[in-house]
Amino acid sequence: MRVPVTGGAGFIGSHVVETLRARGHEPVVFDVRADAGSDVRDREAVARALSGVDAVCHQAVTVGLGNGFADAAEYVSRNDLGTAVLLTAMAEAGVRRLVLAGSMVVYGEGRYTCAQHGEVRPGPRSVAALEAGRFEPECPVCGRAPASGLVGEDAPVDPRNVYATTKLAQEHLAAAWARATGGAAVSLRYHNVYGPRMPRDTPYAGVASFFRSALARGEAPRVFEDGRQRRDFVHVRDVATADALALEANPAHGGLAVYNTGSGEPHTVGEMARVLTDAYGGPGPVVTGEYRLGDVRHITADSSRLRAELGWKPEVGFQEGMGEFARARLRGE
């Protein structure tokens, strides 16, 4: 297949390009960082890129929490307007297959079960609770801390920051495009992707990049809250394989298929910092008690649907992947 990869010069996109090429496809890089400087919001450039293609892999995105609400217009422009321009051009060009870089952030908090009240949905954590160091969400009925578990694709969505809102809007746009055109759309809801070529020293990168950048400066990684918040860290090469499998699959037309894309092995942020620090040989992590409003406490994936329906499985283990990441160059180094 000939497949434009938007964001194909970026962190995840560049690995998708390599994986597709290794599997015998013809990936085409479409990226503002490439020589052509292609912006997915440029209608004419997108139309040219879609000539003679079989499918699109949409990775172009502004990620992370950024700088609070000040970045809202830029997030919406790059993530949602860009997606709308791309989908419009696909409809006009007759391209009917899309794989979208989704995100677990659309869920908000993960799945919680109260011992007394069963499955519950805690609301956003208050500033007062965070300032007091009460980081665990509370049961909305009794106020006790519920147990967290794996979240499935059918869980209600609850985006809690601007980035999360734009990622959910991308899925809605893709679903509307699929219904209107009879196209087939797949959203891979990535969990915490890490690995070589992550960008360094930017407010838009993931926590693994923050820690690795600190180590490169000779500083101790600063772990927010108490370090016990749980995430699913999945290696970028495993994510790239998921994208390739989604492109090669035969999904149902006229709708959007959603798949969690995570390792299935939750780890705390503090544990990740320690493993990365040990592998790098730098100063040990420092737990600061700081917080970012809009962060969630626990969000870990149930990726069994992706395994069952597309035959995907992660190949890079946590220790191995973090060891490699400790030695890899970051983008910008």
- Structure tokens that stand for 113 in this block: 């079960």
- Structure tokens that stand for 253 in this block: 């037309």
- Structure tokens that stand for 232 in this block: 């699913």
**What is the bridge-based pairing of β-strands 111-114 and 222-223?**
unpaired
163 counts as catalytic: yes
75, 107, 112, 163: the catalytic one is: 163
Segments in the chain forming alpha helices (H): 11-22, 43-49, 72-75, 82-93, 127-131, 162-181, 207-216, 236-248, 269-280, 304-310, 318-327
CA–CA–CA angle 133, 138, 139 (5° rounding): 170
Task: Decide: 192 and 271 in contact? Cβ < 8 Å.
Answer: no
- Structure tokens that stand for 243 in this block: 């994208």
3-class SS of residue 285:
coil
Q: Which residues are catalytic?
A: 163
